[in-house]
Structure 1
Amino acid sequence: MRDTGISKGALGLATSLATAGYAFGALLAGDIGLRFHRRPLFALFTASAAVAWTLTVSGMGPAAFAIGLVLAGLSTGLLLVVALPPCFQHFPASRLHITAAFVNIALFGGIAAGPLMGGLAASGLGWRTMFTAFAAIAALACVLSRIVLPHEEPPEPGLTFDWRVVVLSAGATILPFGAVAFLPATGFVSPLFLVPLAIGLASFAAIFIVEDRAREPLIKVRQMLHTLPIIGTIIASFAGGVFLTLLTLSLQRLTTIWGWSPGEAGLAFWPLLPGALLASVLIYFVFRTRYLPIMILAGMSVTAVAGGLLMAAQGPDQVSFVTIGAALLGFGAGSTVSPALFLAAFSVPSNLLGRVFAFIELVRSVGDFLIGPVLAQFAVLIATGDTITTKSVDITLGIAVAMGAATLLFVAIAFLTSYRRLPTPKLEQWLDGEDEVAIESPPVLRGLDETD
C-alpha cells in the first residue's frame, strides 16, 4: 500500500479478483486446452504471467498494480489446467508416481512456502524482489516451453465452445470473491455482501443443471456424480479451506495479539514447507498402490491435530506449539488436496483429465478461498472490539477443525460403503484405453448411467 499508493479496500478487491481469476482461468482452460494446440497456449499464458508480475513492480501506480495482480491470478489458473494433464498423459504408468510427487511439490509445496517467502520479503528481501523473481520464472518457463514441449494436435479441435458454462463460471467466481472483498467494510448482513454472494452461488449451482442438459458439455456432470470424484472434490475443497483458515488465523494471532512483526510471523511457519515435502515423498511410494485413500484420510486427521496444536498456542512462550503445528499442517495439506485430485481422476478416462481438473479446480477454489476469508472475518465479528482476540481466534479455529473432522467422517463413510476392500489403480489400462478408468467408481444415484 505504501509503495504503490493503492488503498486498503482496492488492494482487498484486487486480491479477491485475482483469486476469482485463478478459479475462472482453470475452468476456461478446460475448454481452450481441448480446442487449441497446448504448446502455443503454454507460451502465451507464461508470457501473460510474466507481463502481469512486471506490471505489479512497474511503479506505474495503483491501477497497474491491481491489473497486474488480477492478470497473474488469471494466468496461473489457465496455466494449471493447460500444463497438468500432459504430465500424466505423456509418461508411462511406471513413472506416474514420480509425476505425482513433483506435482504435489509444485502445488502444495509452493503454497507451504508462501508464509516463509512472505516472512523473507517482510524481513528485508522486499516484495518487489519477490514479484520480480516471479516474473523472471514465468519468462524462463515461456522460453523453455518453446524448446522442450512437443508439437501435438489438440484433443478435440471440433468441440463446440460451451459459452453457457463459461458465463456461469464467471458469475460463480467474480461475484462471490468480490463480495468477500467488501466483507471487512460492510459486514455479513450488508446487501453489498449478500446479493453478489447469492447470485454467484446460484450461478455455481446452475452449472450442474446446464451442463447435465447440454449436448456437448465441457463438464461431464454424469461422470463426476460418482463416488470417487465426489470424495476427491469434497476433500480438495474442505481440506484446502481448513488449511487456509488455520494458517490465516494463526498468522493474525502472531501479528495482532502477540505483537510479532510480519517477518517474524512468516518465518515462524517455515516448517510448513518440509511438512509438505514429506507428504510428496509419501505420495511417491503410495501413488501406485491401494493405500492412496488411507494417506488422504491420515492427512485429514493430521490437519485436525495441527489445528488443535495451533489452538493450544496461547502466548509467545508456547511458540513450540506453532512450530509443530505448522509442520503437521504442511504434511496434512500435502497429503489431502493433490492426492484427492489424483483419486478423482482415477475414476474417469485419462483423455478427460483436462475437463476433470478444470472443474475440480473451480469447485475447490470456491470452497478453499471463500471458507478462509469468511471464517477470518467471523473471528473479528465475534470479538469484543474491531480486532480479533484470543477467544475469537480459538472459537474460529475450533470451527475449522470441526469442519475438517466432519469432512473426514463423511468421506470415510462414503468410501467404506462403496468398497469392500481398497482398490488398486490399474494405471496401464487407464492411460492406454480410450474409455478405461483406473478405479471403477459406483454412481451416487441408483440407475445413473453415462449412456443415458
Structure 2
Amino acid sequence: MSETGSAARNGLTASLRGNYALTLAITLFALVPYLFATSATDILKGGIIHDVGLSKTMFSLVKGLGTAGYAFGALLAGDLSQRFPRRPLHMTLTASCSLGWLLSISGFGPITFCAGYILAGLSTGLLLIVALPPAVKDYPASRLPFTAVFINLALFGATAAGPLVGGLVAENIGWRGLFTIFAVVAVLAFFLGLVVIAPEKPTAPGTKFDIFAIVLAFGATVLPFGAVAMLQSTGFASPFFYVPLTLGLILFAAIFIVEDRHSAPLIAVDRMTQTTPTIGTIIASFAGGVFISLLSLSLLRATSLWGLSESQAGIGYWPLPIGAVVAAGFLGLAFKTRFLPLLILFGMLVMIGAGVMLMTVSTSSATVTIPLAYGLLGFGAGATVSPALFLAGLSVPSNALGRVLAFIELVRSVGDFLIGPVLVAFAGLIASGPAPGEKQIVITIGIAVAMGVGTTLFCVAAFFSAYRTLPVPHLERWLHGDEAAIETPQALSGGKG
C-alpha cells in the first residue's frame, strides 16, 4: 500500500515538473509582491512612517536602496544563474524574499524594517533573472504570445495596480497586512518551485565570476539611488546629492568600457549596442521614467493641492491597471507579427497624450479628464515598457537572454526610478513657497512629456535608419538558442534590414 502511494506521489510530482501554467504562476508569485510595493508604498508611506518610527528622509532612502537592490540583484543573477543550478537558487531566493517581508513587519524597529525591505528588493531582482527567462525559452513558440501577455501583466501590471492596492489596503488591512500577504506568496513560490522546477545542471558552471562588473554595478546602483532618495532633504546644491550621483553615473559608464574589453564579459556590450537592443533599452528606461514621473507628480497634486488623502488618491488610480490589461492584450496580438514596433510607438504617443491631459486638467474637468488620463497612461506605459524589453530580447540569441535581460533591467531601473524623484524635487525647487503649486507641477509634467517626445523622435529615427521595412520575428529560430529572432545592425550604423 505504501509503495503504491509512493509511486502515485512520484508520478504526480513527475507530471508537474516543468508544467507551463505552474511555471508562469511561480514567476508571478516571485516577482509581483515587490513590484506592487514599489508603487503601493507611495500611498502607504504615512502609515509606515508612523508605525515604524521612520523620518520621511529615511523612508525615501529605504525605498531608494530597495530599488537599488532590485537593479543590482538582476545583474548579479545574470552571473549566478550561469554558474549554479536554478532550483536551489529559486529556493534560496524565495525564502530570503519571504524573510525580508517578515522582517519588515516584525515590529522590532526601523532597522529591521529597512533591512527587510531592502532584502525583499534584492531577492526579487535576483528572482527576475532566475524565474523569467525559463518561462520564455523552455516552451514552444506557439505559447510565446500568451507568455508575453502574462509577463507584461506581472511586471508592469503590478506596478500600475500598486497605487489602487495601496489605497484599498490603507483603509482596511493596512501595510502590515499587505506585507504579510507578500510573505505568504513568497512561501507559496518556494513550495511550488520545489515541485515544479526539475533538478538540472547549471548552463555554464565553468564561467568565471565577473568581479569587475559586479563591483561597478553595486556602486552604480547604491550611490545614485541613495543620492536621489535624499534629494528632497539635501537639495540639488548639496554635495550629499551631486557627489554620490556623479560618482555612481561614472561607475555606470565604466561598466560599458570594462565589459567591452573583457575577454569573457558578463555583459555582452557588442550585442547590447546593436540598433534594436539599444532602442528597446532606451524606450523601456525613458518610458518607465516618464510614467513614474507622471504618477508621482499627479499624486503630489492630488494630495497637496486638491486635498485628497493618500488612500483617496490611490483609489483614484483605478483606471491605470485597466489600461495596462488592454495594452497586454494588444501585445499578445502583435507579438508574433511585424507590428510590435508600431505598438510601442503607439504606446509612446498615447502616454504623451496622457501627459498633455494631466498638464491641462482643471478642477472643474477633473472628474472626467483624470480617469481618462490615468487609463491612457496605463495603456501607454503597458504598451511600451515590457514590449520594448521583448523587442530587445528578441534581438539577441535566446541563450543570452538571462544576461541581456539582467543588464537591461539594471539600465531600465536607473531610468525608471531616478527620473521621477528628480522631477518631483525640481517642482519643489522652482516653487515660490514651501511646496510646489499648480504652475510648478504643470511645468514639471511638461518636462516629463518633453522627455517622452524626445525619446520617441530619437528612437523612430534610429529604427528607420536601420530598417527599410518592419522586421518579422522568427520565434522558432530564436528558441533554438543561437540566433536572434530579429536581425539587427550595429547601432545607428545606417544599415538597412
Give the TM-score range, shorter chain.
over 0.9
Cα offset for 1:446?
5.3
Q: Which residue of 1 aligns with 2:472?
A: 424
In 2, the alpha carbon distance for the partners of 1:340 and 1:292 equals 9
1:265 aligns with 2:307: no
- Whether the 8 Å CA contact 1:314–1:390 is kept in 2: the answer is no
Q: Which residue of 2 aligns with 1:373?
A: 421
1:246 equivalent among 275, 290, 294: 294
1:65 equivalent among 90, 113, 118: 113
Cα offset for 1:316?
6.2
What are the Cα deviations for residues 371-399 of structure 1, in whole angstroms up to 9, with x where unaligned? 00000100111111121210010000000
- Whether the 8 Å CA contact 1:50–1:134 is kept in 2: the answer is yes
1:388 aligns with 2:436: yes
In 2, the alpha carbon distance for the partners of 1:446 and 1:275 equals 36
Q: Which residue of 1 aligns with 2:487?
A: 440
1:130 aligns with 2:178: yes
Equivalent residue runs for 1:220-299 within 5 Å = 220-299=268-347
- Most deviating of 393-402 and 150-159: 150-159
Cα offset for 1:194?
0.6
Amino acid at match of 2:308: W
1:172 aligns with 2:220: yes
Q: Which residue of 1 aligns with 2:89?
A: 41
Cα offset for 1:435?
2.0
- Whether the 8 Å CA contact 2:466–2:492 is kept in 1: the answer is no
Residue aligned with 1:425, SS: coil
The CA RMSD measured in Å over matched residues stands at 1.3
In 2, the alpha carbon distance for the partners of 1:121 and 1:68 equals 20
Q: Which residue of 1 aligns with 2:447?
A: 399
Amino acid at match of 1:442: P
1:17 aligns with 2:39: no
Residue aligned with 1:361, SS: helix
Give the TM-score, by structure 2 length.
Answer: 0.88
Q: Which residue of 1 aligns with 2:259?
A: 211
In 2, the alpha carbon distance for the partners of 1:51 and 1:32 equals 21
- Whether the 8 Å CA contact 1:238–1:367 is kept in 2: the answer is yes
In 2, the alpha carbon distance for the partners of 1:131 and 1:29 equals 24
Q: Which residue of 2 aligns with 1:144?
A: 192
- Most deviating of 4-13 and 352-361: 4-13
- Whether the 8 Å CA contact 2:98–2:182 is kept in 1: the answer is yes
Q: Which residue of 1 aligns with 2:366?
A: 318
Equivalent residue runs for 1:178-197 within 5 Å = 178-197=226-245
In 2, the alpha carbon distance for the partners of 1:406 and 1:125 equals 42
- Whether the 8 Å CA contact 2:347–2:383 is kept in 1: the answer is yes
* Residues paired across the two proteins, number: 447
1:361 aligns with 2:409: yes
Amino acid at match of 2:198: P
In 1, the alpha carbon distance for the partners of 2:77 and 2:466 equals 32
Amino acid at match of 1:436: E
- Whether the 8 Å CA contact 1:179–1:194 is kept in 2: the answer is yes
Cα offset for 1:125?
2.9
Q: Which residue of 2 aligns with 1:336?
A: 384
Cα offset for 1:447?
11
In 2, the alpha carbon distance for the partners of 1:251 and 1:122 equals 15
Equivalent residue runs for 1:46-57 within 5 Å = 46-57=94-105
Rate the CA distance shift 1:388–1:447 in 2: closer, same or farther, 3 A.
Answer: closer
What are the Cα deviations for residues 86-127 of structure 1, in whole angstroms up to 9, with x where unaligned? 011101111111110100010011011111011112223311
Cα offset for 1:319?
2.7
Percent of aligned pairs with the same amino acid = 58
- Whether the 8 Å CA contact 1:208–1:221 is kept in 2: the answer is yes
Moved over 3 A (4+): 445-448
In 1, the alpha carbon distance for the partners of 2:387 and 2:493 equals 27
**What stretches of structure 1 of length at least 5 have no aligned partner?**
none
- Whether the 8 Å CA contact 1:231–1:411 is kept in 2: the answer is yes
- Whether the 8 Å CA contact 2:100–2:115 is kept in 1: the answer is yes
Cα offset for 1:12?
1.5
Cα offset for 1:189?
1.0
Cα offset for 1:240?
0.1
1:93 aligns with 2:141: yes
Give the TM-score, by structure 1 length.
Answer: 0.97
- Whether the 8 Å CA contact 2:344–2:384 is kept in 1: the answer is yes
Rate the CA distance shift 1:445–1:251 in 2: closer, same or farther, 3 A.
Answer: closer
Residue aligned with 2:313, SS: helix
In 1, the alpha carbon distance for the partners of 2:160 and 2:56 equals 25
Amino acid at match of 1:318: A
